[in-house]
Structure 1
């Protein structure tokens, strides 16, 4: 039976013993799992030996609290054209001309630092003889060339720039193969046992589409217990009262509000003050959190689901794209933690790295007060999926048996924070890695 967060039971199976592992709070012990739960933790447990941990640490499985799974799975059928992949118009044109004649080219990761602003005319100058669509690194903008627009019957679509139009465009393009097997395998090798998909308008059949993934799945806005995603845009920003009315209509369900600018955060905090915050409310990204609002965020009890790697991965772009007054407030971690704000992390893949360990390293390596200790950085991915940032999950009797087994003791893993330390991952006590 499919594992999910929608109230469906685990499939059960015989009891399995994970022997000779270090567990926080217990020391060197054995762990017995049955019916998808941890049932015993202690030294010298008898019974079937499924796995010998060889003294490695057994942790709760990692949970990526914010990513976009179908877009990530489509990457294998896409051309990477980000700043790390191509440099300048000539290299961009070369990258976009791959594939057989007549095939659509789907390119992702573009940023203006590669070759300036793209529109239909600019793409036509680069590639005119095949259908090309290019997605901006933000995931919010698609740019089509003339051949693509004509092939889709949209030759009158102006400059070929489509802002937040995925639903409109979905039926206009050939279906893209989704490498879900690869996504699940790579995530399992990193110790990831659960995902929270954060699309603003998820496909109603998304659970069926993503069924090949072995990880546990939460979908914002789709699962009954999950927060409802609200995406804000400065150009169409509601008033605080308007947003409060929208939030009130979702209650008793929590909300997950997309906040990437100072004004979006302020409107959100005012709206939550008016509507009343509830357990599970989230601020997605929290890209700009002014110092004077940190206590406000704490008082409301919302969780900030952040991406501490963005200031590292996008440092050069932020020097030009972000107003100087906002640069000191980007993707806070350490100051939020010190103030008692609940924080968790998501990779935002495929719009950034899909490796949570790289995110942890970035969080530790931040300059100044935003840096996190290694154990706190690990904790960004160890919260419960529906209430991230709350009490950390633990390997203890009664806990769900979504587990990450390391090759090494925890202190050694914290020194490097690398996926290389992961030996195996388990969902409901069943291994999902080889």
Structure 2
């Protein structure tokens, strides 16, 4: 499957110097075979343009693979068992880090508190990253080590949960999680460069197993940029990386004249990354109506004056901008900032991004289309967390929660991504999620009208993903002159039902004509 309008399917591909030289029938391509030509016979397997994931936190992915994995844990007792096992092998006083717990999967159907876990770790501080990646749980030792008690005020854009008596429960939302001296989402203190290098290598080599040939890395800081650049120079990257520098580096980039598009076919600079709000799962997304059951909670909106100025400066410099915007109140504020920036400095093809675009009603979609905004979204969050979204938002708002089909059919470019390590960087799982929207917890379909076709879903992880980073002339389809990046599958996703996509395996990942 080439995804090229001129030749949607072909039997064979010729590759020269890492690029597609010719496509056609097997007999046509075999005429070009010489004595030194390497021929790979895939025996009828399906080849797609290489998968692209437009939102992978590469450093966090590599680092979290070393922590206590609580994904899929279904009870408080199981949480305690996993933690007790790790604590027993950890020196007294050292932090124990975990990740992935989800109250919607627990049979208790509630958030964990420090009192649930204190008994198994009286001497070790615990930091348990919520599966949303926008909240964390500390035990009592962890709160103590972080200097948090009933008198502590949260930072701007953060929230410390307390019980009826005003005591912290240990659950820290959004920016409050950075009060701990450690963490998984922006680990502090940052790992040394050697550890970071190991984490990045683990991450990229894991990613290619899922058929990925390119990834976008948002919120890249100085160290991640430095180490990734070193790996690229050493030829150690098995796939292509587009870095989205965190906005704190914007002033430095502008002074140096560094902008979106700098780099080569292996490593490049993309959009500058900005945050506007939190997470639907953690109920910190900025919403226009309060979350169900929490009448005073409309989430957290970062200062629009600050991020509007950042957008204005980046747009003036000709940079692409990417803003994390989940709730409808946040999306509205970001679109207003984009509109103001483009009024100040008009640009015909800016492709400013919205990351996530979770709660996206029709009026805001129309506005985004008129502005030329593109969206990088995560279909798997619907199938993993749709039940939690339902509890937070209710039936009416669920109609425009992750409205992927509507976005596409209304003319907005939408790319697929994982927000790894929130979910694994598995495009086939994303394609299954986008086409079925079937809850992994209940088996029910989440907003059936927003299911997309197989073709739409595959394009989200190929040509659409290439367009999001202005790479459509060299990636996203299999055509003469483009990079020879292919994903080889055990079966043709166009020939099976959406429900059967999870049975398809990645047989081979090819980057620049080489099997990686």
What is the rounded CA distance, in whole Å, between the counterparts of 1:384 and 1:336 in structure 2?
13
Look up the match of 1:269.
335
Look up the match of 2:276.
232
Residue 219 of structure 2 aligns to a residue whose secondary structure is coil
What is the rounded CA distance, in whole Å, between the counterparts of 1:324 and 1:30 in structure 2?
48
Q: Does 1:54 align with 2:43?
A: yes
In the TM superposition, what is the alpha-carbon distance from 1:62 to its structure 2 partner?
0.2
What is the rounded CA distance, in whole Å, between the counterparts of 1:87 and 1:36 in structure 2?
50
Q: Residue by residue, what CA displacement relative to the aligned partner does 1:201-258 show, whole Å, maximum 9, x if unpaired?
A: 564435158765411111112784211111112434334x654332110121011111
Q: Does 1:198 align with 2:218?
A: yes
What is the rounded CA distance, in whole Å, between the counterparts of 1:215 and 1:364 in structure 2?
26
- 1:80 touches 1:107 (CA, 8 Å); kept in 2? yes
Unaligned runs of 5+ in 2: 153-167, 247-257, 261-269, 278-285, 287-299, 438-446
- 1:23 touches 1:57 (CA, 8 Å); kept in 2? no
What are the within-5 Å matches in structure 2 for residues 137-156 of structure 1?
Answer: 137-148=131-142, 154-155=146-147
Look up the match of 1:215.
239
Look up the match of 1:379.
459
Residue 49 of structure 1 aligns to a residue whose secondary structure is coil
In the TM superposition, what is the alpha-carbon distance from 1:85 to its structure 2 partner?
1.5
- 2:415 touches 2:464 (CA, 8 Å); kept in 1? no
In the TM superposition, what is the alpha-carbon distance from 1:347 to its structure 2 partner?
1.0
In the TM superposition, what is the alpha-carbon distance from 1:262 to its structure 2 partner?
0.8
Q: Does 1:107 align with 2:98?
A: yes
Residue 287 of structure 1 aligns to a residue whose secondary structure is coil
Unaligned runs of 5+ in 1: 1-20
TM-score by length of 1: 0.82
Count of equivalent residues:
407
- 2:51 touches 2:214 (CA, 8 Å); kept in 1? yes
In the TM superposition, what is the alpha-carbon distance from 1:93 to its structure 2 partner?
1.5
What is the rounded CA distance, in whole Å, between the counterparts of 1:22 and 1:55 in structure 2?
15
Distance verdict in 2 for CA 1:23–1:345, change over 3 Å: closer
What are the within-5 Å matches in structure 2 for residues 2-401 of structure 1?
Answer: 25=7, 27-42=9-24, 43=28, 44=30, 45-47=32-34, 48-82=37-71, 84-88=72-76, 90-99=77-86, 100-102=89-91, 104-113=95-104, 114=106, 116-118=110-112, 120=114, 123-148=117-142, 154-155=146-147, 159=168, 161=172, 163-164=174-175, 169=182, 170-172=187-189, 180=200, 183-199=203-219, 201=221, 203-208=224-229, 212-221=236-245, 224-225=259-260, 226-233=270-277, 234=286, 235-239=300-304, 243-251=307-315, 252-276=318-342, 278-366=349-437, 367-383=447-463, 387-388=467-468, 393-401=476-484
In the TM superposition, what is the alpha-carbon distance from 1:77 to its structure 2 partner?
1.3
Distance verdict in 2 for CA 1:209–1:124, change over 3 Å: farther
Taking only aligned residues, the RMSD between alpha carbons, in angstroms, comes to 3.2
Distance verdict in 2 for CA 1:93–1:323, change over 3 Å: same
What is the rounded CA distance, in whole Å, between the counterparts of 2:11 and 2:403 in structure 1?
37
Residue 409 of structure 2 aligns to a residue whose secondary structure is helix
